[in-house]
């Protein structure tokens, strides 16, 4: 089965984790293959990180994957939003790169916040040593679109 998008794959992973006791990435890869979906282990690892999947003890012989509740996910995202708002100074962008200026010493915190806001078209961030963060965007996704998506997550964002 060829999935149309990353979102389709993420939905399938969520469903499999909710309905199966999965103890390893290899087990999950096998379940995905049973569904006709072949995915690289590295991609699956990134998907699990994006979904904030964790492992919990089953009380007897091992651990299994679990998804955070919607409340936990929202609380975690709010913590990162608060950290972003505390640390950023300004945002500027061009067609493929966003530069976020941060207060001195806050670049790492701001980068981590962006990485954890689940912005699908962000490839990743690079934090400078002190006060600048570079945000790498997916091909075809502009800095203006990034700022628009960020504003949806953080309605109080003032970057003018």
For tokens 């203006």, the residue is 144
**Per the confidence metrics, is the pTM higher than 0.75?**
no
Q: How far apart are CA 113 and CA 95, in angstroms?
A: 22
For the chain, list residues with pLDDT below 70.
Answer: 1-4, 159-160
Give 121-152 as a DSSP string.
TEEEEEE-SSSEEEEEE-TT--HHHHHHHHHH
Residue 130: how many CB atoms within 10 A of its CB? 12
Enumerate domains of the chain plus CATH numbers.
6-66 (1.10.10.10), 70-153 (3.30.1360.40)
Residue-wise pLDDT tens digits, 113-141: 998 888 888 988 999 988 999 999 988 99
């Amino acid at each position: 089965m060829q999935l149309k998008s990353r979102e389709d794959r993420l939905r399938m992973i969520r469903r499999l984790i909710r309905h199966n006791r999965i103890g390893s990435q290899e087990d999950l890869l096998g379940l995905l293959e049973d569904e006709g979906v072949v995915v690289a282990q590295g991609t699956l690892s990134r998907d699990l990180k994006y979904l904030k999947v964790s492992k919990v003890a089953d009380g007897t012989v091992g651990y299994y994957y679990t998804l955070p509740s919607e409340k936990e996910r929202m609380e975690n995202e709010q913590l990162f939003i608060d950290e972003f708002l505390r640390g950023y100074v300004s945002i500027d962008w061009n067609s493929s790169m966003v530069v976020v200026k941060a207060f001195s010493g806050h670049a790492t915190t701001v980068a981590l916040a962006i990485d954890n806001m689940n912005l699908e078209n962000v490839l990743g961030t690079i934090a400078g040593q002190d006060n600048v963060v570079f945000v790498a965007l997916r091909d075809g996704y502009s800095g203006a679109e990034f700022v628009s998506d960020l504003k949806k997550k953080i309605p109080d964002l003032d970057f003018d």
